[in-house]
Chain A
Amino acid sequence: MCYTRKASTVTTGLGGASVAEKMMSREDGRPVDAFDTACQAVKDEEPGAVENLRHLTGEHPELLERIAEAGDMAAIAERRIAAVLSPGDALQEEKLRVWIEATQRDLEEPGDGALERILIRRVALCWFAVNTAEVMRAGNWKLGNLENDRAAFADRRVSRYTADLLKATRTLATVRKLRRPVVMVNVAEQQVNVIRP
């Protein structure tokens, strides 16, 4: 799948090759992805990987701290949601963990970095919350004990979680679209920027 963007008049005026070089050079400055790759290299026990990781951590300490904080918060949110929705039920908690991992795998795309993975985890959590709220609402309907107050509350809860899910999905799509490498193609002297999936 390809996303196409209309070329601006400025880039068309500059000519294909030079603009392409400029655009490709912008893709280099991605400390978070470099950090991600360095972490993987450390896990794979590649030579010099630890030194590289230390170097990157020293270069962008705040940024990497922020990503780590977001990752931690995702783990905390997952634990909290599991504890709230299935209190004291280890089997349910394990089912949640497995479901979230499977959903994350389904949503991951080649080229996703650390930031995208955190956003995917958020989408999976929101999705789980929507599913649970819908199951609870359906369960109440089945029991026939849905009074006006409870019905309104169940509907409100489903709506709120659905809004959260849509927001999370939109954010993930935006970040992916922005961070994808841009490739430029000139067709009959018309420049078209193509974002690779």
Chain B
Amino acid sequence: MAWETRKRGDWYYTRTRREHGRFVREYVGGGIVGEVAAMLDAEERAERDAERARMRAEHEQAREVSEALAALEAVTREAIADVLHAEGFHRHNRTWRRKRG
């Protein structure tokens, strides 16, 4: 929790961050100083969350478009193979060739 209760009964604002795999707690202050720090941190956190959500949406969008194009590619590949086989072509070393004779 960011707000700590002291023995005197008042509140003290702290920040916790990770440094080299350890948690480090920074003691910011109580009263108005603590409240301002808490407000700024909340804003920063909200911005970070929004940015993360935007990134997630962009990744999701890219994945959907790629999936749609990949599905179309798979179906067209099969269609091409069927049509070319029916028209007398065959595949040799991944290259389509016309059958002789």
Task: Tell whether B78 is near chain A: CB-to-CB under 8 Å.
Answer: yes
A53 beta carbon closer than 8 Å to chain B? no
Q: Which B residues from 51 to 69 make CB contacts under 8 A with A?
A: 55, 58-59, 61-62, 64-69
List residues of chain B with CB within 8 A of the CB of A179.
Answer: 87
User: Contact at B80–A115, with CB atoms within 8 Å?
Assistant: yes
How far in angstroms is the closest Cβ of chain B from A183?
14
Q: Mark A67-87, 1 if CB is under 8 A from B, else 0.
A: 101100110110011001100
Instruction: Decide: A62 and B68 in contact? CB cutoff 8 A.
Output: no
Tell whether B2 is near chain A: CB-to-CB under 8 Å.
Answer: no
Report chain B residues within 8 Å CB of A66: 78-79, 82-83
Which bracket fits the contact residues of A? Answer: 35 or more
- Residue in B closest to A27 when the chains form the complex, CB atoms: B87
Number of interface residues of B (CB under 8 A): 31
Are B61 and A85 closer than 8 Å at their CB atoms?
A: yes
The residues of A that contact B65 with a CB separation of less than 8 Å are 80-81, 84-85, 129, 161
**Contact partner, A26, options B59, B68, B88, Cβ 8 Å:** B88
Given contacts A76-B68, A149-B55, are A168 and B79 in contact (CB under 8 A)? no
Q: In the complex the two chains form, is A115's CB within 8 Å of B69's CB?
A: no
Q: Which residues between 38 and 92 of chain B lie within 8 Å of chain A, taking CB atoms?
A: 55, 58-59, 61-62, 64-69, 71-73, 75-80, 82-84, 86-89
Asked if A141 CB lies within 8 Å of chain B CBs, one says: no
* Stretch from A28-36, A37-45, A100-108 at the B interface: A28-36
A160 lies within 8 A of chain B by Cβ: yes
- Check: B96 CB closer than 8 A to any chain A CB: yes
Interface residues of A in 139-197 (CB under 8 A from B): 149-150, 153, 157, 160-161, 164, 167-168, 171, 174-175, 178-179
Q: With A66-B78, A153-B55 as given contacts, are A30 and B87 in contact (CB-CB < 8 Å)?
A: yes
Chain B residue with the shortest CB-CB distance to A118? B76
Min CB gap A64→B, angstroms: 10
Q: Could you mark each residue 83-125 of chain A with 1 if its beta carbon is under 8 Å from any beta carbon of chain B, else 0?
A: 0110000000000000000000000000000010011001001
Asked if A63 and B86 sit within 8 Å, CB to CB, the answer is yes
Tell whether, in the assembled complex, residue B79 and residue A70 are in contact, meaning their CB atoms are under 8 Å apart. Answer: yes
| CA gap between A167 and B72 in the complex, in Å | 12
Which one, A29, A81, A115, contacts B79 given CB within 8 A? A115
The 10 sampled A-B contact pairs (Cβ below 8 Å) are A29-B86, A63-B83, A66-B78, A69-B79, A74-B72, A77-B71, A84-B65, A122-B73, A149-B55, A153-B59
Which chain B residues have a beta carbon within 8 Å of chain A's beta carbons? 55, 58-59, 61-62, 64-69, 71-73, 75-80, 82-84, 86-89, 96, 98, 100-101
